[in-house]
Structure 1
Amino acid sequence: MPHSSYVLTLDCPNRPGIVAAVATAIFEQGGNILEAQQYDDTQSHRFLARIVLDHPRDALDPAALRAVLAAVAARFDMRWALRDRAQRHRVLLMVSKFDHCLADILYRWRLGELPMEIAAIVSNHPRETHERLDFAGVPFHHLPVTRDNKAAQEAALLQLVEETGSELVVLARYMQVLSDDLAGQLAGRCINIHHSFLPGFKGARPYHQAHARGVKLIGATAHYVTADLDEGPIIEQDVERISHHDTPDDLVRQGRDIERRVLSRALLWHLEGRVLLNGARTVVFRD
């Protein structure tokens, strides 16, 4: 049997003694710290950390550890979470017509690069739109949306999230703006890929906007969804250099590659507990 290990994430107002208190709590339960990353945000005066731990004899009592950590959290006004690394997140994937990001996620998932369970795939287009993709073993739901049925469609979507036990929703080029109400209910557990290097060129046809401005770099942004369109905390970004020879179609083609890798990286880091919300920003504890 594989050795059990856990990821502890925490953030709280910064003050002396946090690391000592958390390390002592882990030690008193026989825990062993394998990795520890921390960040002191001197602007917001908050302390954030990600700790990977196990037990030398694989005999950690998670309930007992949670009890002592809860006491530490109360002392430091701390938000925290402890998760068994063997417990895979249940993820709901959403897509519209362009499915290159979804194809990449499915490929990496089947290779074992993305440690998750796909609870369902939702599209506002029928299954035939995605005939190139292999959905074998993954439930597919067609939830068409129009201006007239948007509220009912989002209610059905939220019910599906709850029924499937989905912990995370990924908008893999789902080209519909979520209502403020739905965005609020999914706060902190919905990742979007925006085909632009935010905060520039927001809204529709960003590559055409970029071409019209003669940019020399194009990019993509993965961020958490909020009620403010394209303003959520940014998780990951990447860029490609272009030239005056490139047409808008060239930019779209290159953009697809950027979008795939940016979204997959952001998704992986979320699954591994590497992304901590810090107000309107994120702290990403990369390797």
Structure 2
Amino acid sequence: MTPTRTVLEERVASAAPAEAKPLARRRLLASCADQPGIVAAVSRLLHDAGANIIQSDQYSSDPFGGTFFLRMEFAGTDHVVEGLAERFGAVAERFGMTWRFGNPAVPKRVAILVSKQDHCLQDLLYRWRRNELEAEVVLVASNHADHREAVEAQGLPFHHIPVANPAEKPEAERQLLELLDGTCDLVVLARYMQILSGDFLRLVGVPVINIHHSFLPAFAGAGPYARARERGVKLIGATAHYVTEDLDEGPIIEQDVNRVSHCHDVGALTRLGADVERTVLARAVGWHCEDRVLRHGNTTVVF
């Protein structure tokens, strides 16, 4: 005998709301010369399109003649968000904006380059496994073979591209470019102890983030902990920055420090510094992947 529902059960079922379809989210990052009406125009467009603003951050370098920066996150139906980029073009043209939309549902593909020291690599892989990074690590490449087993144990491809001497660097960079072409949205130098050429940076086609084991601009280049010890510093730090042709002078994303004393030798400084390096790099990578960093000349605005 087929069971039947009571009248009360039928009324409850008919009154229950249909399960709501999750809304699509997008992020808007924009910058332009500061002027009245920017936020109003953007908000009006989103409102008229049927999108709802979830979070909004803005900054002006100077209200009179400065540069305006905006990061907005909004939600709407698939139909709403898919048509917004075209409609936003008119607002962007009106204010002379540089702008882009980001999609939180599509994690950025990250390629990691590393040399012998693996503390930053291991930290990024740990955070990636725990879904603490809004990113998808797609590969690891190194000029040393040391980390193959550890990386492949995570189910990731490992590529050994040696650079035994300076004469091999052009061929190594050619192999790296071939490996990275179309596979990633961001390259992370997790203590990759090779200087990338200007040609490589122009051809790779995606941002490159480096961690430098110094509180830049102090002690740029090689051996910063030894030079810090010689100088008798009381603070050591690390700097995550975008890579440019000018060594260790790209736009800074994040920095942090540890307090030290005359009792710390170079080995102790290096161990303490490693803790700062991995946390600073992880923050920078996370913020970039969450579309929180806007570049402005040789500086950044981080929301």
**TM-score, normalization by structure 2:** 0.89
1:224 aligns with one of 242, 255, 259: 242
How much has 1:59 moved relative to structure 2?
4.3
Greater mean alpha carbon deviation, residues 63-72 or residues 237-246: 63-72
AA of the residue aligned to 1:50: R
Query: In the TM superposition, what are the counterparts of 1:42-191 in structure 2 within 5 Å?
Result: 42=62, 45-55=66-76, 58-126=77-145, 128-129=146-147, 131-132=149-150, 135-145=153-163, 146-164=165-183, 166-186=184-204, 189-191=207-209
2:36 maps to 1:19:
no
What is the distance in 2 between the residues matched to 1:187 and 1:208?
35
CA distance 1:81–1:5, shift in 2 (3 Å): same
How many residues get paired?
281
1:240 aligns with one of 258, 276, 298: 258
SS of 1:261's equivalent in the other structure is helix
Greater mean alpha carbon deviation, residues 179-188 or residues 168-177: 179-188
2:286 maps to 1:265:
no
CA distance 1:135–1:257, shift in 2 (3 Å): same
What is the identity percentage for the equivalent residue pairs of Structure 1 and Structure 2?
Answer: 49
RMSD over equivalenced CA pairs, Å: 1.7
CA distance 1:273–1:10, shift in 2 (3 Å): same
What is the distance in 1 between the residues matched to 2:178 and 2:150?
28
What is the distance in 1 between the residues matched to 2:101 and 2:130?
26
User: What residue number does 1:6 align with?
Assistant: 26
Deviations 1:182-219 (A, max 9, x none): 12345761100000000000111100100000000000
**TM-score, normalization by structure 1:** 0.93
What is the distance in 2 between the residues matched to 1:114 and 1:49?
22
User: What residue number does 2:16 align with?
Assistant: none
What is the distance in 2 between the residues matched to 1:219 and 1:44?
34
What is the distance in 1 between the residues matched to 2:276 and 2:149?
23
Larger radius of gyration: 2
8 A Cα contact 1:6 1:54, kept in partner: yes
CA distance 1:263–1:2, shift in 2 (3 Å): farther
What is the distance in 1 between the residues matched to 2:178 and 2:70?
33
Greater mean alpha carbon deviation, residues 250-259 or residues 114-123: 114-123
SS of 1:269's equivalent in the other structure is helix
8 A Cα contact 1:187 1:224, kept in partner: no
What is the distance in 2 between the residues matched to 1:254 and 1:87?
35
Greater mean alpha carbon deviation, residues 180-189 or residues 3-12: 180-189
CA distance 1:163–1:6, shift in 2 (3 Å): closer
